[in-house]
């Protein structure tokens, strides 16, 4: 005759699991727990956060204990929120942060340190190849054939890269494009149009497994994935911050924007373009930056919205990119990498059949 044991009794014979999560701009949350009979047991949440009333910590632990180990981050957070007393105050963390921490302890979510990161320095490539590489390398990371990677772009031809869902005719002025010899390309991620001349922007792409942002909202994933960039900018004397959802700004104006795309195979693309030395007159000649777009920005002029890093730092573009690579490498132990011949060949093929075609460019007329 078999006898049943409670999860807490079983926990004694099961290894303790440990997870940590530093809330961007907030506090550290730690989860220690066991899994017994497929459910969470002996859950203990701790950290340097603030919580009132004191007993609410036990409410959190009780709410998590007994939940299936397959519980999603959203459902873990919902359980925590449901268990908290009405007068509970959480400072420096949230129910979502607790959920991320528990998922990390269970190895359902990963942290930066769980991955071996690669960095690909800038190499001059046609803009449609840069865009195609974003799709190819995101697929490669999702499939496990490439380590998570940070890649910096470089290009020669003046370009406009529009978001996946933008209308060509609404975003781009054909006369300005023809006059200035601009190449127009559509990328796979959403967000707005980027005006890019050689040397006037800093653009990078981060290819990562979606486990790194497991449990994070879309809004929270942006500053989380760019915390190293904020540290690099701080190092060169620029205090930057996120303006939700995807603008990066300083007290002197917007300096950049981010966009993301999640693929079905578990890969994810997060990329950012920052203004280094934008020709604002040419930009407004090429892009249709309408009054509606500017109406909530507190300014009448598109030129005022883009405040270049060159003026704020006095540094060469290569020096800023170097500082970014140094901080990323120092934080995450990243190592140097190069594009493989197979990846470049796949990107060239993808550019010929998709990203360089009129059908793709005008898929949203």
Residues 274, 203: Cα–Cα separation, whole Å: 6
| Whether residues 232 and 257 fall in one domain | yes
pLDDT of 304 above 80: no
Out of 109, 127, 149, a domain closes at 109
Domain of 199, CATH number, reads 3.30.930.10
Give the model confidence (pLDDT) of 153-209 as tens digits.
999 999 999 999 999 999 999 999 999 999 999 999 999 999 999 999 999 999 999
Residues 261, 256: Cα–Cα separation, whole Å: 18
Closest CA relative to residue 150, chosen from 350, 361, 321, 357: 321
Which residue bears the tokens 């796949």?
Answer: 346
Domain of 30, CATH number, reads 3.30.390.50
User: Does some domain include residue 2?
Assistant: no
| Whether residues 119 and 60 fall in one domain | no
Residues 127, 203: Cα–Cα separation, whole Å: 11
| Whether residues 195 and 279 fall in one domain | yes
pLDDT of res. 24: 87
Out of 109, 127, 145, a domain closes at 109
User: Does some domain include residue 82?
Assistant: yes
| Whether residues 254 and 279 fall in one domain | yes
In degrees and rounded to multiples of 5, residue 332 shows phi and psi of -115, 10
Give the model confidence (pLDDT) of 258-273 as tens digits.
999 999 999 999 999 9
pLDDT of res. 297: 54
| Whether residues 74 and 166 fall in one domain | no
| Whether residues 235 and 144 fall in one domain | yes
DSSP 315: -
Q: What is the pTM of this model?
A: 0.91
Average pLDDT over residues 141-156: 97
Out of 88, 109, 130, a domain closes at 109
Q: How many domains does the chain have?
A: 2
In total, the chain counts a number of residues equal to 365
Domain range spanning residue 302? Answer: 113-361
């Amino acid at each position: 005759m078999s006898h049943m044991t409670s999860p807490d009794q079983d926990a004694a014979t099961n290894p303790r699991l440990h997870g940590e999560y530093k809330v961007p701009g907030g506090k550290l949350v730690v989860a220690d727990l066991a899994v017994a009979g497929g459910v969470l047991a002996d859950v203990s949440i701790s950290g340097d956060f603030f919580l009132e009333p004191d007993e609410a910590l036990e409410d959190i632990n009780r709410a998590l204990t007994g939940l299936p180990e397959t519980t999603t981050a959203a459902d873990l957070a919902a359980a925590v929120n449901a268990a908290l007393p009405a007068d509970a105050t959480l400072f420096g963390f949230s129910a979502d942060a607790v959920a991320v921490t528990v998922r990390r302890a269970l190895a359902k979510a990963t942290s930066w340190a769980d991955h071996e990161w690669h960095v690909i320095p800038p190499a001059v490539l046609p803009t449609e190849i840069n865009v195609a590489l974003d799709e190819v390398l995101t697929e490669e990371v999702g499939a496990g054939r490439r380590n998570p990677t940070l890649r910096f772009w470089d290009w020669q031809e003046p370009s406009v890269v529009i978001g996946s869902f933008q209308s060509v005719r609404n975003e781009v002025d054909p006369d300005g494009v023809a006059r200035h010899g601009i190449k127009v390309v559509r990328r796979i991620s959403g967000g707005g149009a980027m005006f890019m001349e050689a040397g006037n922007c800093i653009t990078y792409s981060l290819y990562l497994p979606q486990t790194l942002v497991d449990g994070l909202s879309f809004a929270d994933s942006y500053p989380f994935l760019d915390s190293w960039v904020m540290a690099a900018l701080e190092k060169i004397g620029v205090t930057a911050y996120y303006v939700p959802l995807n603008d990066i700004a300083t007290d002197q104006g917007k300096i950049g924007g981010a966009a993301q795309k999640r693929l079905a195979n578990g890969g994810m693309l997060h990329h950012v373009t920052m203004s280094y030395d934008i020709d604002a007159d040419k930009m407004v000649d090429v892009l249709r930056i309408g009054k509606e777009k500017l109406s909530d920005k507190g300014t009448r002029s598109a030129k005022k919205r883009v405040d270049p890093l060159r003026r704020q730092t006095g540094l060469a573009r290569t020096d800023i990119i170097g500082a970014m690579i140094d901080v990323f490498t120092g934080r995450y132990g990243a190592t140097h990498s190069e594009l493989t011949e197979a990846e470049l060949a796949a990107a060239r093929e993808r550019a010929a059949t998709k990203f360089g075609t009129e059908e793709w460019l005008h898929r949203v007329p």
